[in-house]
Amino acid sequence: MQRRSLLKVSLAGAVALSVGGGAGLALWPGDTSVRPQRPLLSLPERAFPVLVAVAARVLKGTTANPVEIAHRVDEALRYATPESRSDLADVFGLLENGLTGLMLRGQPRPFTLLDERAQDEALLAWRDSRVGLLRGAYHALRKLCLAAHYATPSSWAEVGYGGPAILKPEPPPLAADKPVVVDGAARSVEGMPG
Amino acid sequence: MTTLPPGITEAQTLTADVEVGCDVAIVGSGPGGAVVAATLARAGLSVVVLEEGGAFTKARFRGREDEAYPLLYQDGGQRVTKDLGITLLQGKAMGGGSVVNWTTCFRTPDHVIDHWRTRHAVGGFDGAALAPHFAAMEQRLSIAPVPLELLNRNNRALYDGCKKLGWAVEPTQRNVLGCAYSGHCGHGCPIDAKQSMLVTLLPDAMQAGAAVVTRCRVQRVVFEAGRVTAVIGLAIDASGTQSTGVTVTVKPRFVVIAGGAINSPALLLRSAAPDPHGVLGRRTFLHPVTGVVGVFDDRIEGWRGAPQSAASHQFAQRGDEVGFFLEVAPIHPMLMATAMPGIGTTHRDTMARVAHFAAFLALTIDGFHDDVPGGRVTLSKSGAPVLAYPIAERQWRAFRDGAKALAKVAFAAGAKEALTGHDPPTSMRSDADLAAVDAAHWEVARVALFSAHQMGGCGMSDDAKSGVVRSEDLRHHQIDNLHVVDGSVFPTSLGVNPQLSIYGLAHLMAERLVARWKTA
């Protein structure tokens, strides 16, 4: 429900390392060349290239397009609590932060500048971390990307799923729904629009 | 002050603040709120139901995971415990969890009600008092056992596996009428066969004059001199994500909170409700679930058929150890993809076999041991609920034992491989490999855990020091005209899927409330 404590983990790590003289590493610029293709609804722009890079690793070998997955994750996060959204933005910062990389895997380069093998190792380092919240963050990132792909028809052929049992026309967009008016004497909501 | 017309008002269409007077305001339209609304409205009381979710019909229930989870689940399906350890599947819509549950119906076991009486001072009713109310709801919702021959292959594997092992197992009862076995219960029933509150008790209530306001998020209830004087709601846009800025204020004589576990205690916390003994939000229970996937040579295709239609209570009562019961989960691509471990080609190759998977669940029964007190709901800065749920060592043992039982079932049913929910996975080829379950790391976020059953947080007890509401009529101990009628009042988990327990209890309590309020 919220990932607030992750912020504390990241701050604690940053403070520990800056005391040791490594503060400049946090400013190592990552690869910001991957830009959103439409306005973001939940995440800050700086998180987007990191999310795209994560999506590319999580969904490697599938038909998923990482940029499209990143947009779907951003859209799905509209439904999360404000604290979850903010904490997740912190997670992307933490993953990209050279200090974290140095602390967790002896590698100060930002996630977006790692080669594919090193990116996988970085994610698996979180999976196997002794810090429960890093393991939780690994699963949060993984699940968001997986859900964005496997919830949609583009994945169905890959897994042998035939799709819904009962086909229906696409409903109108939610915002276009007309007010529902139900006669109080009606026995059921059968026939309600929308 | 105005009155609302009977039927549905979608708050996203309101263009100005409204103030509404009525006899009873009900917060939440799920199994608790809908049953109370129908009973009170039929008795002639004016009823306004406030619901945060949207009013949808089967036209929007298309069996699509990408549409169903954002529309019909709390936090768009992303609700999770504070330490990210347990995924919480909880409904949010007109009709509440009944719109998305998997239709499994059990009466509250008598031994659970007895435990409440002896350990939690629940003296307001007993099993005999509830029985006619269960019967009434079973009749209204067409609750009946699934014929054995209609179990899908996933459920049949659980049934056959348990039978081979000599374990208790039965087809479940379901609240369906004209079910087409599409497998889409969790996405909103595409043909209105599921007898959810959306197509039963809410229409009953509206026919009797009740008003239902959807897309209305109740922010707080207002207390003055020991009574609730107003309920303040915020209109939400059609997508369910943003406030429209319009306020809905209801000024009722009585208030029933029925937002479900997690949300009901959160509303009372936001409202700074009296809580002199610090019990509000505590003892929140989840039936935390661990799963085992059985891999079969044949295609199982667990996405079709009744998602849950068999259950085993062989291990429900284990004395000093935490009990668990066995059921299965529907297998749809997104739900399985997020449950299966790994990333990249490892995960992709797992998903390529998903048609051959049977998904078995062990649901652990929390709240019956002193060191298993459940979780605690508090509030985030924005006022959203946060559930901290520490898992006791005794529960980890139950997960291990549950996973071993599930692996045995899988192999007895003919599986060639069994996988625990660990990341990286623990794979077994036969009963000889069961020790691998003990060797696995049973720790938060190393193994997939989830909950589809949220209970407690506003527990009932006749001892005001240990309960939020009294059991006789579920009235708040400190607030005269405030009642809580939903799954949050259970003082423990149930050991069975909760919906029928909520229907039966709400039906009993609503009759008692009518008797009092008609003369008040």
In a domain, B19, yes or no: yes
Examine the domain organization and report whether B199 and B293 are in the same domain: no
* Among candidate residues B416, B443, B470, the one where a domain is terminated: B443
Residues from chain B contacting residue A168 (CB–CB below 8 Å): 59, 62, 190
Residues from chain A contacting residue B196 (CB–CB below 8 Å): none
Output the CA torsion B229→B234→B240→B245 (10° steps).
170
Angle at B370 between CA B365 and CA B372, to 5 degrees: 40
Residues from chain A contacting residue B380 (CB–CB below 8 Å): 1-2, 4, 81-83
Strand B86-88 and strand B170-171: the pairing is unpaired
Q: How many CA atoms lie within 13 A of B258 on its CB side?
A: 34
Question: Is the pLDDT assigned to residue B475 strictly greater than 70?
Answer: yes
B343 closest CB neighbour out of A123, A132, A156: A123
In a domain, A76, yes or no: yes
Angle at B111 between CA B109 and CA B117, to 5 degrees: 115
Token readout for B348 is 């992709």
Say if the Cβ atoms of B84 and A3 lie within 8 Å.
Answer: yes
Arithmetic mean of pLDDT, B319-346: 97
Q: Which distant-in-sequence residues (6+ apart) come within 8 Å of B397 by Cβ?
A: B321, B322
Strand B216-224 and strand B227-236: the pairing is antiparallel
Arithmetic mean of pLDDT, A47-65: 98
Examine the domain organization and report whether B354 and B487 are in the same domain: no
The distance from CA B466 to its chain's CA centroid, rounded to whole angstroms, is: 23
- Mean pLDDT (chain B, rounded): 97
Is the CB of residue B22 less than 8 Å from the CB of residue A192?
no
What is the pLDDT, as a whole number, of residue A101? 79
Phi, psi (deg, nearest 5) at residue A67: -65, -40
Examine the domain organization and report whether B37 and B166 are in the same domain: no
Examine the domain organization and report whether B158 and B279 are in the same domain: no
| Angstrom distances, CA of residue B191 to CA of B118, B175, B199 | 44, 14, 11
In this structure, which amino acid lies at residue A111? F
In a domain, B235, yes or no: yes
Token readout for A26 is 């946090």
Residues from chain B contacting residue A184 (CB–CB below 8 Å): 5-7, 206-207, 209
Strand B18-27 and strand B243-257: the pairing is parallel
Question: Between helices B110-120 and B127-140, what is the axis angle to 10°?
Answer: 140
A136 closest CB neighbour out of B57, B84, B207: B84
Q: Residue B3 — very low, low, confident or very high, per pLDDT cuts 50/70/90?
A: confident
Examine the domain organization and report whether B217 and B261 are in the same domain: yes
Say if the Cβ atoms of A158 and B351 lie within 8 Å.
Answer: yes
A189 closest CB neighbour out of B75, B198, B299: B198
Question: Is the pLDDT assigned to residue A9 strictly greater than 60?
Answer: no
CA distance B4 to chain A (A): 11
pLDDT tens readout for residues B162-198: 999 999 999 999 999 999 999 999 999 999 999 999 9
Q: Residue A105 — very low, low, confident or very high, per pLDDT cuts 50/70/90?
A: confident
Give the whole-angstrom CA distance, residue B254 versus residue A167: 44
Question: Between helices A116-127 and A48-58, what is the axis angle to 10°?
Answer: 90
CA distance A102 to chain B (A): 23
Nearest alpha-carbon partner for B336 in B350, B346, B323, B324: B350
Place of tokens 């109740």: B218
Bridge partners (DSSP) of residue B447 are: B422
Is the CB of residue B91 less than 8 Å from the CB of residue B73?
yes
In a domain, B379, yes or no: no
Phi, psi (deg, nearest 5) at residue B127: -60, -40
Top residue of B343, B347, B443 to mutate, by most chain A CBs within 10 Å, is: B343
pLDDT tens readout for residues B38-71: 999 999 999 999 999 999 999 999 999 999 999 9
Say if the Cβ atoms of B64 and A151 lie within 8 Å.
Answer: yes
Say if the Cβ atoms of A133 and B13 lie within 8 Å.
Answer: no
Domain range enclosing B464: 7-142+185-283+453-517
Say if the Cβ atoms of B182 and A80 lie within 8 Å.
Answer: no
Which segments of B124-270 does DSSP mark as H helices, in order?
Answer: 127-140, 153-165, 201-207, 263-270
Examine the domain organization and report whether B138 and B158 are in the same domain: no
Q: Which distant-in-sequence residues (6+ apart) come within 8 Å of B346 by Cβ?
A: none
Question: Is the pLDDT assigned to residue B448 strictly greater than 70?
Answer: yes
CA distance B318 to chain A (A): 30
Which segments of B3-76 does DSSP mark as H helices, in order?
Answer: 31-42, 65-72
What is the pLDDT, as a whole number, of residue A22? 40
Strand B310-311 and strand B170-171: the pairing is antiparallel
In a domain, B374, yes or no: no
Give the whole-angstrom CA distance, residue B234 versus residue B246: 6
Question: Is the pLDDT assigned to residue A23 strictly greater than 60?
Answer: no
In chain A, which residue's Cα lies nearest the Cα of B11? Answer: A179
Say if the Cβ atoms of B8 and A180 lie within 8 Å.
Answer: yes
CB atoms within 10 A of CB A129: 18
Task: Report DSSP letters for B41-57, one per residue.
Answer: HHTT--EEEE-SS----
Say if the Cβ atoms of B7 and A137 lie within 8 Å.
Answer: no
Say if the Cβ atoms of B190 and A192 lie within 8 Å.
Answer: no
Q: Residue A98 — very low, low, confident or very high, per pLDDT cuts 50/70/90?
A: confident
In a domain, A143, yes or no: yes
Examine the domain organization and report whether B123 and B228 are in the same domain: yes
Question: Is the pLDDT assigned to residue B108 strictly greater than 80?
Answer: yes
Give the whole-angstrom CA distance, residue A71 versus residue B236: 23
Q: How many domains does chain B have?
A: 2
- What DSSP designation does B75 have? G
Question: Is the pLDDT assigned to residue A6 strictly greater than 90?
Answer: no
In a domain, B372, yes or no: no
What is the pLDDT, as a whole number, of residue B362? 98
Three-state DSSP state, B377? strand
Token readout for B171 is 């087809």
| Angstrom distances, CA of residue A166 to CA of A156, B255, B307, B503 | 15, 40, 16, 29
Q: For residue B257, give the H/E element and its range.
A: strand B243-257
A79 closest CB neighbour out of B59, B70, B352: B70
Residues from chain B contacting residue A149 (CB–CB below 8 Å): 337
Say if the Cβ atoms of A184 and B5 lie within 8 Å.
Answer: yes
Question: Is the pLDDT assigned to residue B407 strictly greater than 70?
Answer: yes
pLDDT tens readout for residues A125-183: 999 999 999 999 999 999 999 999 999 999 999 999 999 999 999 988 887 555 544 44
Is the CB of residue B291 less than 8 Å from the CB of residue B448?
yes
In this structure, which amino acid lies at residue B459? G
Question: Is the pLDDT assigned to residue B452 strictly greater than 90?
Answer: yes
Here the CATH number for the domain that contains residue B412 is 3.30.410
Give the whole-angstrom CA distance, residue B479 versus residue B462: 14
In a domain, A193, yes or no: no
Active-site residue identified among B453, B476, B483, B507 = B453
Residues from chain B contacting residue A135 (CB–CB below 8 Å): 444-446
A160 closest CB neighbour out of B343, B355, B384: B355
In chain A, which residue's Cα lies nearest the Cα of B212? Answer: A182
Top residue of B10, B199, B348 to mutate, by most chain A CBs within 10 Å, is: B348
A180 closest CB neighbour out of B55, B239, B334: B55
CA distance B283 to chain A (A): 17
Peptide bond into B424 cis (omega under 30): yes
* Among candidate residues B424, B443, B462, the one where a domain is terminated: B443
Examine the domain organization and report whether B195 and B317 are in the same domain: no
What is the pLDDT, as a whole number, of residue A183? 41
Q: Residue A97 — very low, low, confident or very high, per pLDDT cuts 50/70/90?
A: confident
pTM: 0.94
Give the whole-angstrom CA distance, residue B244 versus residue B251: 21
Say if the Cβ atoms of B207 and A57 lie within 8 Å.
Answer: no
pLDDT tens readout for residues B233-282: 999 999 999 999 999 999 999 999 999 999 999 999 999 999 999 999 99
In a domain, B53, yes or no: yes
Q: Residue A65 — very low, low, confident or very high, per pLDDT cuts 50/70/90?
A: very high
Examine the domain organization and report whether B82 and B68 are in the same domain: yes
Say if the Cβ atoms of B337 and A150 lie within 8 Å.
Answer: yes
Three-state DSSP state, B453? coil
Examine the domain organization and report whether B267 and B356 are in the same domain: no
In a domain, A31, yes or no: yes
A164 closest CB neighbour out of B5, B55, B62: B62
Examine the domain organization and report whether B163 and B128 are in the same domain: no
Q: Which distant-in-sequence residues (6+ apart) come within 8 Å of B405 by Cβ?
A: B314, B315, B324, B326, B362
Arithmetic mean of pLDDT, B462-475: 98
In a domain, A180, yes or no: no
Is the CB of residue B518 less than 8 Å from the CB of residue B298?
no
Q: Is B453 a catalytic residue?
A: yes
Give the whole-angstrom CA distance, residue B427 versus residue B420: 7
Q: How many domains does chain A have?
A: 1
Q: For residue B129, give the H/E element and its range.
A: helix B127-140
Phi, psi (deg, nearest 5) at residue A131: -85, 115
Arithmetic mean of pLDDT, A77-101: 91
CB atoms within 10 A of CB A190: 11
Say if the Cβ atoms of B202 and A189 lie within 8 Å.
Answer: yes
pLDDT tens readout for residues B70-101: 999 999 999 999 999 999 999 999 999 999 99
Domain range enclosing A90: 4-166
Task: Provide the number of CB pairs (under 8 Å) joining chain A to chain B.
Answer: 222
Three-state DSSP state, B77? helix
Is the CB of residue B461 less than 8 Å from the CB of residue B470?
yes
Is the CB of residue B270 less than 8 Å from the CB of residue B219?
yes
Residues from chain A contacting residue B445 (CB–CB below 8 Å): 132, 135-136, 138-139
* Residue scoring higher pLDDT (A147 or A6): A147
In a domain, B301, yes or no: yes
Here the CATH number for the domain that contains residue B65 is 3.50.50.60
Examine the domain organization and report whether B425 and B460 are in the same domain: no
Place of tokens 């609590």: A81
